[in-house]
Amino acid sequence: MEEIQKTKGREAREEIYFSYRLPFFLLEINYKTALKKNTERCEAQGIHAYHSTFLLNSAFCQLDIARDVNICNIVKSGAKFKQTKTMNRKTLLAPFLFIALNSCSQQESQSARMSEKDIAVGGSCEGCEAIFENLTPFERLNEVDTLADFNLDGPKLLITGIIYQPDGKTPAPGVVIYIYHTDQKGIYPTKGNEKGWAKRHGYLRGWVKTDSQGVYKFYTLQPAPYPGGGNPAHVHATVKEPGKTAYWIDDFLFEGDPFLPAGKKPGNPRGGNGILKPIMENGLSTMTRNITLGLNVPDYPL
């Protein structure tokens, strides 16, 4: 019998540590199984699996779950655990697997914790959480993404441009852009197993991170307007720059769209003018939009 060790951390959060010796290979096998199941579950939910996968990146890392209760601290040296009470091996492995399989459900709170220091800008932003639903972590994104429809029949489109710092001149590297749009029927297509904002945004969506020159590129098909007309075809966009919360910018709109009011002026669009004329070349339309961070964005510190 071994005693329970409890410590009070910041905000009086309770930490419980388990200690028990297990063969290394047994830990490794169960770690890999848990990680595989965790990844599959994240993919099925269509959410960003990075944070939960990061916590499981090594079988010997600290695992956090809901309410910031640290269930176990796995120490590499001798695969040794401090435990609350006498446990057999099956009992000990159970919480480890439970944490791995449920870490996806903590995705939202983990994302929130990572953004606690971000400056809140842009006001309300319905659906901006979708920018965190990518399976690829921000650190591994690059400046190019190809959406799921690009190889289908339809007008092929390249959406590109440069994102600038608030001065409108200096390129802004490391800025994440999330876009989504309708298909060729004017609907946001789904496969039926979507979770989170994918239920509404569909699967025609993409994420990029600007390169050192602030460049971004999306390859996709030009979307169609909603069935029944009335609204011009458009591409929704959300921006997440380092140190600030995610915020929406004005939609990408297509100059000449019959549903776009003639002579419509952009007014004070967020990020800059989004009404653009695609230029056709070699079967590919290119739509270039340069974006200025914080331009006409409420609460943005300049």
Domain extent listing, the chain: 5-112, 128-292
Identity at 113, one-letter amino acid code: R
Q: How far apart are the C-alpha atoms of 109 and 57, rounded to whole Å?
A: 19
Q: How far apart are the C-alpha atoms of 231 and 260, rounded to whole Å?
A: 7
Residue 230 is predicted with a pLDDT of 84
Residue 229 is predicted with a pLDDT of 79
Residue with tokens 């269509």: 46
CATH number, span 128-292 = 2.60.130.10
Give how far the C-alpha of residue 128 lies from the chain's centroid of Cα atoms, to the nearest Å: 9
**255-260 contacts: CB < 8 A, separation 24 or more?**
257/225, 257/232, 257/233, 258/232, 259/225, 259/229, 259/230, 259/231, 259/232, 259/233, 260/232
Residue 8 is predicted with a pLDDT of 35
Residue 109 is predicted with a pLDDT of 39
* Positions of the chain with pLDDT lower than 50, given as ranges: 1-29, 31, 46-114
Give the other-Cβ count within 10 Å of 44's Cβ. 12
Q: How far apart are the C-alpha atoms of 278 and 158, rounded to whole Å?
A: 9
Closest by Cα among 292, 295, 289 to 277:
289
Strand pairing category for 247-254 and 275-276? parallel
